[in-house]
Structure 1
Amino acid sequence: MAPAPLPPDSSSSWLADIAQRSASATAQLHARALTVNDTQKVTLGVIAAYIVGIAILWNLPYIRWVLWPFKMLVIAFHEFGHALACVLTGGKVKSIELDPREGGVTHMLGGRNVITLPAGYLGSSLIGALLTFCGFNIVASKVASIVVGVCFLLTLWWGRKDWLTVGTILLAVGLLVGCWFIAHAEALRYVILFIGVMSSLYSVWDICDDLILRKVNSSDASVFAKRYGGSSQCWGVIWSIISLLFMVAGIIAGIAAFPQTSDQQKTDSENFIPTKF
């Protein structure tokens, strides 16, 4: 007499069902991450316009002064990167100074130079990438502005003896606060996006300007090369590539994380620290 057929393995069936659901969820996640909706297309268009506009203004005599307030702001990010790296590696920050012609300088005691030297360019690039990421969404831009405000307060403490540093930071804080009250902070999103793009690209343009075009020997990259080998141009190119990768990662992450339409973003913003002018 033939043996009765064995009942199907319920555990195997359950595992197969789980695997199928996981594969479906993964496929949906990939589809979502690679799909760009109309609101995101507008954001990408704005980013492209920012890149072209900043590149043109950056290289035009006299007209480049239009970017001066934002350039000073990005330099503040650069110096904040030096200062934070110094503190995190056991050093002490004496002061921060901004200069409209020479850029900025952070006076430090101690810290690990192998980290603090590249932290200016790479730190400002990372901040730029995070701001670009947040610039895809109004609520995220609100959160970003709060975090940036805290960073500004730290920079203000370190640079309190320099009037240009104090003035630049206070104007930046005033701009961010003012944008909170325009159409439930919709304007804030585009300001955060602009600052993010400029901060991401500042390191690239500044490195090219200093090391490739003008060949200035007093940059972070030249000091790094003297202490740890290689050439300043080599380190400048490496840091520029990393900065661009940060920016691309911020854009891709923004597309994947914030699929909300413009109307959905406004509704969400009305429920998150609501403000309207």
Structure 2
Amino acid sequence: MSPMPVPGGDSLDLDSRALALGLVRRDAASVLTPNSTQKEALADEISRHVPILKEIIYPFKLLTVGLHELSHALAGVLTCASVESIQLEPNEGGSTRMRGGIPAITLPAGYLGSSFIGAALIACGFDTDASKVACLVLSFFFLLTLWWARKSWIAWLTIALMAALIVVCWLVAHSVALRFLVLFIGVMSCFYSIWDIIDDTLDRKVNTSDASEYANMIGCCGSRFWGAFWLLISVVFFAAGILVGIAAFKDDWSTQASKADNFLGGSP
């Protein structure tokens, strides 16, 4: 095999170079691979902090439940239903009571509506001003939810906390944190919808669900079919939210900060 010239006048055949690269890769892998003691330490750290993470995201999970129930209610209003109440539960459950409407629209609206809202928030989360507009719309949704859930103390507490977070993120450092808050809520809403569809309809961990009621009402295909269909739509919404955000908002950080300062007074 002919030698290959390298800078400095030295030569190194290809076999030697391949051997050297292989040794470097193996050495890097051995250095970066945790040993049994380190794995135990990592596992211990994760197990100790997972409960803390669960507590941190708990209010956001309640918010996504609220968006799910609000979507049912909004679909009911659009189909001339009389919405009686929304109820949120501490165990992350919820229910919407209404009379009338079109069940073929109101039943899937919880999953698909919250997924669509989440996708819209994700798209807006790529831009500071768009995040502010999204928060104004969210504030209107909060008021609607409280109107229908005025007897639910969980709803009041959750929305009060979210409103406080929005105000703080809006006012601090050119509202940069607001983008990440909107993105986080959007991702949570989309993931909640996707996970809820899988849990309720495909894994069938509950006896009844919106999909089973929908299948009984339509009279064909079964709950798993409709669950898979709604899952596909939710995934498409999620992907579309990301792609729209990337395509629509190209301003850099400084430009977004400048615009944020001129939006409804901006940040101090």
Question: What TM-score does the superposition give when structure 1 sets the normalisation length?
Answer: 0.75
How many residues end up aligned between the 2 structures? 220
| Separation in structure 2 between the aligned mates of residue 274 and residue 218 of structure 1, nearest angstrom | 49
Within 1, Cα distance between the matches of 2:249 and 2:52? 38
Question: 1:110 aligns to what?
Answer: 100
Matches within 5 A, 1:71-220: 71-101=61-91, 103-220=93-210
> RMSD across aligned C-alpha pairs, in angstroms?
1.8
Contact 1:98 1:105 in 2 (8 A): yes
CA–CA distance in 1 between the matches of 2:202 and 2:51? 19
Instruction: Give the number of the structure whose alpha-carbon radius of gyration is greater.
Output: 2
Q: Partners in 2 of 1:275 and 1:130 — Cα distance?
A: 22
* 1:160–1:204 distance in 2 versus 1, CA, 3 Å: same
Bigger relative contact order, structure 1 or 2 (CA pairs below 8 A, ≥6 apart)? 1
Q: TM-score, normalised by structure 2?
A: 0.78
Using the TM superposition, give the Cα deviation of residue 254 of structure 1 relative to its aligned residue in structure 2, in angstroms: 1.0
Displacement, 1:65?
Answer: 3.8
Structure-2 change in CA distance of 1:106 and 1:212 (3 Å): same
Structure 2: 5+ residue stretches without partners: 1-45
Q: Deviations over 1:110-159 (max 9, x none)?
A: 01000000000000000001000000000000000000000110010000
1:68 aligns with 2:58: yes
Unaligned runs of 5+ in 1: 1-55
Deviation at 1:62, TM superposition (A): 7.9
For the 8 Å contact 1:142–1:188, the answer to whether it is kept is yes
Matched, 1:244 2:254: no
> How far off is 1:162 after superposition?
1.0
2:104 and 2:214 in contact (8 A); partners too: yes
